[in-house]
Structure 1
Amino acid sequence: MKRFIVILLLVAIPQFVQSQDEQAKKELTRLLDDFLEGAGKNDLEIHDRFWAEDLIYTSSSGERFGKEQLMNGVRNAEEDSGNSMVWSAEDVQINIYDDTAIVAFRLVGEAYAGEKNTYLNSGTFVKRNGQWEAVNWQATKERAK
């Protein structure tokens, strides 16, 4: 009987962990998609939800700042509706490590005027109080091919 229980646990535990990882990947994919949709509209709420209070952000221009400076930038951009972009994620990779996750993807920004920019982004997320939030972010402008 003990052998049966051990075998059952050896089979069930990896499936449970895989199921949790898959659920986390779905949550993070949805969060990223919602964020990118809102970011194109300078949605202050989605930015506030996405970024952790202790965020460390390294921009593609080489500047490092936190959530407060980022949120100030969003507030200022709200007033300038002429720079709207449609953002999407390609080649998304998500690695889960318990309540921490790494999300890497190609960020594609398309302006209504036809301009297109691509960035290689990666973020570290931590699950706090049942919600994923970005605590670290790195954006790198992709080289022209």
Structure 2
Amino acid sequence: MKIVLFLIAILLTFTFTSIGQTPNAKIEREVIEFRAAIRNAVKAKDRASLERYFAEGFTHTHASGKVDGKKERIDFFLASEPTIEDVEPEDIRIIVHDKNLATAIGKTSLLFGSEKRTFQWTGVFLKRKGSWQAVATHASLLRN
């Protein structure tokens, strides 16, 4: 009898755990795919897509402390300067707050001439009317 109760408890634990993880895994995948769409739009210099991907009121804080709004950030992407959105992150973790809100935390290295610089960054993403948008991002330069 104890074994049966133990097995039922384990089964219920796995059932509730898998039920709880399924929506988060789906949202994590959506956010990673959304970031890839941003990266592709940056590479293609696709202003129209970037305008959709970044929310009104969006802000980005550069490693220098400079803060850009949506227009300045998109202009920066289109200027062909190295940016963390140009390359796949070395490390990324998605924190799902609810079905429409997630935070991505990652690390990306870029070459500036022959100098490698590594950035730790954070992005906050909100799903509105079925589509994800970036609402705020921040990058910090790590000491190599």
Judge conservation of contact 1:125–1:132 (CA < 8 Å) in 2: yes
CA distance, structure 1, for counterparts of residue 60 and residue 73 of structure 2: 8
CA-CA distance at 1:136 after TM superposition: 1.1
CA-CA distance at 1:17 after TM superposition: 3.8
CA-CA distance at 1:141 after TM superposition: 1.3
Fraction of identical pairs, as percent? 25
Match of 2:96 in 1: 96
Q: Aligned pair in 2 of structure 1 residues 22, 11: CA closer, same or farther (>3 Å)?
A: same
Instruction: Note the 1:79-90 alignment, pairs <5 A.
Output: 83=81, 86-90=86-90
Match of 1:126 in 2: 126
Aligned counterpart for 2:73 among listed residues 70, 73, 86: 70
CA distance, structure 2, for counterparts of residue 141 and residue 88 of structure 1: 17
CA-CA distance at 1:71 after TM superposition: 2.4
CA-CA distance at 1:130 after TM superposition: 1.0
Residue 50 (1) aligns with residue 56 (2) = no
CA-CA distance at 1:108 after TM superposition: 2.4
Aligned counterpart for 1:27 among listed residues 26, 30, 50: 30
Judge conservation of contact 1:55–1:66 (CA < 8 Å) in 2: yes
CA distance, structure 2, for counterparts of residue 50 and residue 140 of structure 1: 22
Match of 1:109 in 2: 110
- Give 5+ residue unaligned stretches, structure 2: 1-11
Q: Secondary structure at the match of 2:34?
A: helix
Aligned counterpart for 2:42 among listed residues 39, 42, 46: 39
CA-CA distance at 1:48 after TM superposition: 2.2
Judge conservation of contact 2:82–2:110 (CA < 8 Å) in 1: no
Runs of 4 or more off by more than 4 Å in structure 1?
Answer: 9-14, 83-86
**TM-score, length-scaled by structure 2:** 0.73
Query: For the aligned residues, what is the CA RMSD?
Result: 2.8
- Give 5+ residue unaligned stretches, structure 1: 1-8
Aligned residue pairs total 132
**TM-score, length-scaled by structure 1:** 0.73
Q: What are the Cα deviations for residues 95-144 of structure 1, in whole angstroms up to 9, with x where unaligned?
A: 10112111000122246x65533211101111111112111111111211
CA distance, structure 2, for counterparts of residue 45 and residue 109 of structure 1: 25
